[in-house]
Structure 1
Amino acid sequence: MKGRATLSVRPEKINLGNQAEGITFEGRIINKNYMGGYTHYTLDVAGTELRASRRNASRDGDTIPLGATVPVGFVAGSARVLAA
């Protein structure tokens, strides 16, 4: 069966930088929002907007700057295929 579908991955299952593993590609940080224990990122990946959440290692927040191009990845078992 052929057709369109949507691939869904929860933001906390998407890894950035040196934590990227599994299915990987590059994305550019276009927005970030420090939320205490986490920083929420919006990335541009080949023209598609993607959201990722990353746990902060310190109270100063994460250190990935806006505009940075970083590796992005997730393990296949974290993805769900949704009907179009």
Structure 2
Amino acid sequence: MSMHVAQGDLAAYDPQLTRDHEANIVHLIEDRLIGVSRWATEARAAVAAHAAHDRPILIEGEPGTGKEFVVRLIHECSARRQGPFVAIS
């Protein structure tokens, strides 16, 4: 049994655990992805949305635009955070 399953079982008995975890994720995203522009707000929402799903993510774009930064943040906020982060260039 993994730690994630155990935490999920506990959350079923104590909904506060789920709310606390979600609050921690929001704070992590806000601490790492700062700004008040529309782009920053949309990026924070996208990070939270993608972190909630258990699926691979491919981000394409020009060099130096922060792709790996965003994907690492998604990984750190996801259920996969205990596993390895694999960046492919």
Could you say which TM-score interval applies, normalised by the shorter chain?
under 0.3
TM-score by length of 2: 0.26
Greater relative contact order, per chain length (Cα 8 Å cut-off, separation 6+): 1
More helix by share: 2
Structure possessing the higher radius of gyration over alpha carbons? 2
More strand by share: 1
